Structure 1
Amino acid sequence: MDDLIEDLANARWRKSSFSGHDGSNCVEVARFSGGRHGVRDSKDLGREALVVGPTEWAVFLNQVKAQ
C-alpha cells in the first residue's frame, strides 16, 4: 500500500489523445510500479484515481482496441 501512495504522489499523468480539446472528456493515465496503471478525470482532481493491476490493464486495453 505504501508503494501505491508513493506512486500516486509522484505520478506522471498523460492526457489521452482522445480527450476533447475544449476541456471535455479529459482522461489521464499514469504508470505505476508493479505494472499497475492509474486512470483519472483531469477535470475532477479531487476524486481518487482508479488503479488497476497489470492483468486488468491488459484486459482494458484489449477491450478498447476491439471497439
Structure 2
Amino acid sequence: MDRLILLMLAGILAGLALIKVPLAGTFLASIAPITTLIGILAIVIFSLFLIYKALMAMLGKQ
C-alpha cells in the first residue's frame, strides 16, 4: 500500500480524535470550538484527497 494513502488515513483519524477529545473542565475548554473546526476540516480535506486518488486510479491516470 502506498505510504501517502496511509498518511491520509492517519490524518482522518487525527481529525476524528480532535473532534472527540473532551476538553470540558480543563484550561483548554475555551479552544474546544477551534479544535472541532480543525478536526472537521482535516477529515473533509483528507477524505476528498483519497476520493480523488481513487478516481484517478480507477480511470488509470496515476
Whether the TM-score (by the shorter chain) exceeds 0.5 is no
How would you bin the TM-score normalised by the shorter chain?
under 0.3
**Structure-1-length-normalised TM-score:** 0.24
Q: Which has the higher helix share?
A: 2
RCO (CA 8 Å, sep 6+): is it higher in 1 or 2? Answer: 2
**Structure-2-length-normalised TM-score:** 0.25
Bigger Rg, structure 1 or 2: 2
